[in-house]
A and B are shown apart, each in its own frame.
Chain A
Amino acid sequence: KAGVTQTPRYLIKTRGQQVTLSCSPISGHRSVSWYQQTPGQGLQFLFEYFSETQRNKGNFPGRFSGRQFSNSRSEMNVSTLELGDSALYLCASSTAGTGKSEQYFGPGTRLTVT
């Protein structure tokens, strides 16, 4: 089985711009979660999608949004970029996102905002 894929792997943007990141989960996985990772902060939960519906949401401003398509692929959008948005964005997929449903992570998208 192919693993979780994320595109692009690296991105450089300017303050005020917007960006869209893409995540393709493992085949058969219906849950996709997005995280922001910065040094010393650990993984900060952004949101989770299950069967095209946002099931959980973290404490991020409305500039961060996402969606999931019928094939379970997911996109994350950040509008009006700020310098503090520079981070590694990870997506993770799981079969159901409940119980012992472990998450499988993609390689991440490294976003740099200048």
Chain B
Amino acid sequence: GQNIDQPTEMTATEGAIVQINCTYQTSGFNGLFWYQQHAGEAPTFLSYNVLDGLEEKGRFSSFLSRSKGYSYLLLKELQMKDSASYLCAVQKDSNYQLIWGAGTKLIIKP
């Protein structure tokens, strides 16, 4: 079977740090994507992890542990514009198809 779990909703304060977790059980794994989706808009690419470890890109970092089937997205110095849904997607190794989690809605409060 294929299963990707993310928390449904999280709340954080402007200026703080938040970690959004993603756990997965899939038949085959090639890499993991994180996308951001603002309400009423299309998803946009944030990061891609294929090897274990942390990938840092400005205020956003993404971590992957293949052996644990676990990833997280770390957002620092939160801004109001970071209020959005964050989608985790596993890329299968057999056909590169993406399997998506249901997304985590992040609410930023002043």
Tell me the A74-108 residues at the B interface (CB within 8 Å).
Answer: 90, 97-108
Q: Which of B11-19, B36-44, B57-65, B66-74 contacts A (4 or more CB under 8 A)?
A: B36-44
Q: Which of A13-21, A38-46, A64-72 contacts B (4 or more CB under 8 A)?
A: A38-46
**Are A102 and B33 interface neighbours, CB within 8 A?**
yes
**What B residues does A107 contact at CB under 8 A?**
41-42
- Given A45-B99, A56-B95, is A90 in contact with B48 using a C-beta cutoff of 8 Å? no
Give the CA-CA distance A43 to B97 in the complex, in Å: 12
Which residue on B lies nearest to A35, using beta carbons?
Answer: B100
Give the CA-CA distance A99 to B103 in the complex, in Å: 22
Interface check B10, CB cutoff 8 A: no
**Are A105 and B43 interface neighbours, CB within 8 A?**
yes
Which residue on B lies nearest to A106, using beta carbons?
Answer: B42
Give the CA-CA distance A33 to B99 in the complex, in Å: 12
**What A residues does B44 contact at CB under 8 A?**
105
Give the CA-CA distance A105 to B36 in the complex, in Å: 11
- Given A42-B87, A48-B97, is A102 in contact with B102 using a C-beta cutoff of 8 Å? no
**Are A99 and B43 interface neighbours, CB within 8 A?**
no
**Are A102 and B95 interface neighbours, CB within 8 A?**
no
**Are A42 and B100 interface neighbours, CB within 8 A?**
yes
**What A residues does B41 contact at CB under 8 A?**
107
Chain B residues in contact with chain A, CB under 8 A? 30-31, 33, 41-45, 48, 50, 87, 89, 95-103
A-B contacts, 11 of them at CB < 8 A, read A35-B100, A40-B102, A44-B100, A97-B96, A98-B96, A99-B30, A102-B45, A103-B45, A103-B98, A105-B44, A107-B42
Chain A residues in contact with chain B, CB under 8 A? 4, 33, 35, 40-45, 48, 55-56, 90, 97-108
